[in-house]
């Protein structure tokens, strides 16, 4: 029974925060033990001209063991002004190296409710790491947040681990007439004097790195209404380019819904910043592109498909550990090839052959099922991850392969996932064991022979 298989693999997975669980070895400084956050309420004020952020964060959590001390991730660039836990001041706290360590006056029992309120302010700046600068970043006029993998603490206190998924309420007040966009559905917009408050509600569970705020001189345009509203948030000067570069956004959505199952969120937005960006960025129910991706030439169509695919693979289904990054990037890359195939471009087979050739002449010193933190965003993880799916598709045949993708997104909707979850589910669709396929493509360094079946 398929359902049984899925459930048993979930039971084997320790809850993050449980004492038997560990912190991700790829990001050992991030994430925290002893509690689980179910909701963040962020009430923020941001001054564009001075890059000043002030906020009150309310974390609604539950303890998973008796708790006398616990930690929260928060950038050292932000200064904490006040903390309460269940309405009381803690005995003491320290804040250094992007970590807030809180000691309670009285222990909290296991399984108890915990409400942490943190008032803080400062000049947010990105968190520097081996993947460059991530998190809150000032634009020429405005701000953006691009946190993958560990930038969330640059702008709010959080349990910064991808398997720590929670609901969010985000209220952001900034200078009029700037537009402020955050994850979720816009619930209200209020202008008072020279400031506007935007209130968003994100009810589907979200990993902290996918939480975002985008502020700029933008206008909003609706690109489509089915199956969900699709919005573009764009600087007025780029509106004409938008019509050319994002002309196929709606068809892309239709094709991916057909191939992957229902789009997982109530809306989808693309934000185009007035500045150039090196690469586009995924956030929950939103993708962020630079002005350079919207130059009227259509060159970024592949990237537009890639980012949309992350809404299923990465955002609804989110890795439990960064070592399984191919579950995000391999799938998003394969979605580029699928879009190409479905929109009259080169077939997935042609793309697979092309990139197989490139991989064959690249160093084979990576295991894509566990590439190591330094190489987790290496292009070989993307391309070989996509080729792994292509090999699987050839083994299963199109009908079963796409049925599997739809069952994957349905069974694990809004969940945390591992490679074993996917390979376990895929096994159901094959009369023969698939172990050799996974072993050669995911666990070994040499490139396996090109898949022919
Ligand atoms: Zn990606």
Measured in Å, residue 229 CA sits from the centre of ligand 1 at 22
Measured in Å, residue 386 CA sits from the centre of ligand 1 at 12
pLDDT at 23: 85
Mean pLDDT, rounded, of the chain: 94
Measured in Å, residue 383 CA sits from the centre of ligand 1 at 11
For the chain, report the end-to-end CA distance as a whole number of angstroms: 27
Measured in Å, residue 83 CA sits from the centre of ligand 1 at 36
Name every residue whose Cβ is closer than 8 Å to that of residue 255 and which is 6 or more positions away in sequence: 338, 339, 342, 343
DSSP assigned state of 88: B
At residue 21 the predicted structure's pLDDT band, cuts being 50, 70 and 90, is: low
| Cα separation, 218 vs 215, whole angstroms | 8
Sign of the CA dihedral with 50 first, then 294, 245, and 288 last: negative
Token pair 């460059």: residue: 132
Measured in Å, residue 87 CA sits from the centre of ligand 1 at 41
- Of the candidates 202, 139, 195, 211, which has an alpha carbon nearest to the alpha carbon of residue 167? 202
Pair of tokens at residue 239: 């509106």
| 8 Å CB contact between 57 and 85 | no
Name every residue whose Cβ is closer than 8 Å to that of residue 346 and which is 6 or more positions away in sequence: 340, 354
Measured in Å, residue 313 CA sits from the centre of ligand 1 at 9
Helix, strand or coil for residue 4? Answer: helix
Measured in Å, residue 112 CA sits from the centre of ligand 1 at 37
The string of pLDDT tens digits covering residues 237-294 is: 999 999 999 999 999 999 999 999 999 999 999 999 999 999 999 999 999 999 999 9
The string of pLDDT tens digits covering residues 290-325 is: 999 999 999 999 999 999 999 999 999 999 999 999
pLDDT, greater one: 19 or 265: 265
The string of pLDDT tens digits covering residues 359-395 is: 999 999 999 999 999 999 999 999 999 999 999 999 9
Query: Where do runs of H (alpha helix) occur along 159-289?
Result: 239-245, 249-260
Measured in Å, residue 394 CA sits from the centre of ligand 1 at 23
Which whole number is the average pLDDT over 176-183?
97
Measured in Å, residue 93 CA sits from the centre of ligand 1 at 37
Name every residue whose Cβ is closer than 8 Å to that of residue 376 and which is 6 or more positions away in sequence: 26, 149, 322, 323, 325
| Cα separation, 409 vs 394, whole angstroms | 20
| Cα separation, 232 vs 218, whole angstroms | 9
Whether pTM > 0.85 for this model: the answer is yes
DSSP assigned state of 294: -
Which whole number is the average pLDDT over 425-437?
97
Measured in Å, residue 251 CA sits from the centre of ligand 1 at 20
| 8 Å CB contact between 438 and 423 | yes
Cis peptide before 314 (omega within 30 of 0): no
At residue 453 the predicted structure's pLDDT band, cuts being 50, 70 and 90, is: confident
At residue 6 the predicted structure's pLDDT band, cuts being 50, 70 and 90, is: very low
Measured in Å, residue 328 CA sits from the centre of ligand 1 at 7
Q: Which domains does the chain have, with CATH numbers?
A: 1-215 (2.60.40.1730), 318-443 (1.10.390.10)
pLDDT at 9: 34
Cis peptide before 177 (omega within 30 of 0): yes
- Of the candidates 326, 357, 316, 358, which has an alpha carbon nearest to the alpha carbon of residue 422? 326
Which whole number is the average pLDDT over 214-239?
97
Cis peptide before 400 (omega within 30 of 0): no
DSSP H or E segment with residue 408: helix 398-411
Measured in Å, residue 58 CA sits from the centre of ligand 1 at 30
Measured in Å, residue 310 CA sits from the centre of ligand 1 at 7
| Cα separation, 91 vs 216, whole angstroms | 41
């Amino acid at each position: 029974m398929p359902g049984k298989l899925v459930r048993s693999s979930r039971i084997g997975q320790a809850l993050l925060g449980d004492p038997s669980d560990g912190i991700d070895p790829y990001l050992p400084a991030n994430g925290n033990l002893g509690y689980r956050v179910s909701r963040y309420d962020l009430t923020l004020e941001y001054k564009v001209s001075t890059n000043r952020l002030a906020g009150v964060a309310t974390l609604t959590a539950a303890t998973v063991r008796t708790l006398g001390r616990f930690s929260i991730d928060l950038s050292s660039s932000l200064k904490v002004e006040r903390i309460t836990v269940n309405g009381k001041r803690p005995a003491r706290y320290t804040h250094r190296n992007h970590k807030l360590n809180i000691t309670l006056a009285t222990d909290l029992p296991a399984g108890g409710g915990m409400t942490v309120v943190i008032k803080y302010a400062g000049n947010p700046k990105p968190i520097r790491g081996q993947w460059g600068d991530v998190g809150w970043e000032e634009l020429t006029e405005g701000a953006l947040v691009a946190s993958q993998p560990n930038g969330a603490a640059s702008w709010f206190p959080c349990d910064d681990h991808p398997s720590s998924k929670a609901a969010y309420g985000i209220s952001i007040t900034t200078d009029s007439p700037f537009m402020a966009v955050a994850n979720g559905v816009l619930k209200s917009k209020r202008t008072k004097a020279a400031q506007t408050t935007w209130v968003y509600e994100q009810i589907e569970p979200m990993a902290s790195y996918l939480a975002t705020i985008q502020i700029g001189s933008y206008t909003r345009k609706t690109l489509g209404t089915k199956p969900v509203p699709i919005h573009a948030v764009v600087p007025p000067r780029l509106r004409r380019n938008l019509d050319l570069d994002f002309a196929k956004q709606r068809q892309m959505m239709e094709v991916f819904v057909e191939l992957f199952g229902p789009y997982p969120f109530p809306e989808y937005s693309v934000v185009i910043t007035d500045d150039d960006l090196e690469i586009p960025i995924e956030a929950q129910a939103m993708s962020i592109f630079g002005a350079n991706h919207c130059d009227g030439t259509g060159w970024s169509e592949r990237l537009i498909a890639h980012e949309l695919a992350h809404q299923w693979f990465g955002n609804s289904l989110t890795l439990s550990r960064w070592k399984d990054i191919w579950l995000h990037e391999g799938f998003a890359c394969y979605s580029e090839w699928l879009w190409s195939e479905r929109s009259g471009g080169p077939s997935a087979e042609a793309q697979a052959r092309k990139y197989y050739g490139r991989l064959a002449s690249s160093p084979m010193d990576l295991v894509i099922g566990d590439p190591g933190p330094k190489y987790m965003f290496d292009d070989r993880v993307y391309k070989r991850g996509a080729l792994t799916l292509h090999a699987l598709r050839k083994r299963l045949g199109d009908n079963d392969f796409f049925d599997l993708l739809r069952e994957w997104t349905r069974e694990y909707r809004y969940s945390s996932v591992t490679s074993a979850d996917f390979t376990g589910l895929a096994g159901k669709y094959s009369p023969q064991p698939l172990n050799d396929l996974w072993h050669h493509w995911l666990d070994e360094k040499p490139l396996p022979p090109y898949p022919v079946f």
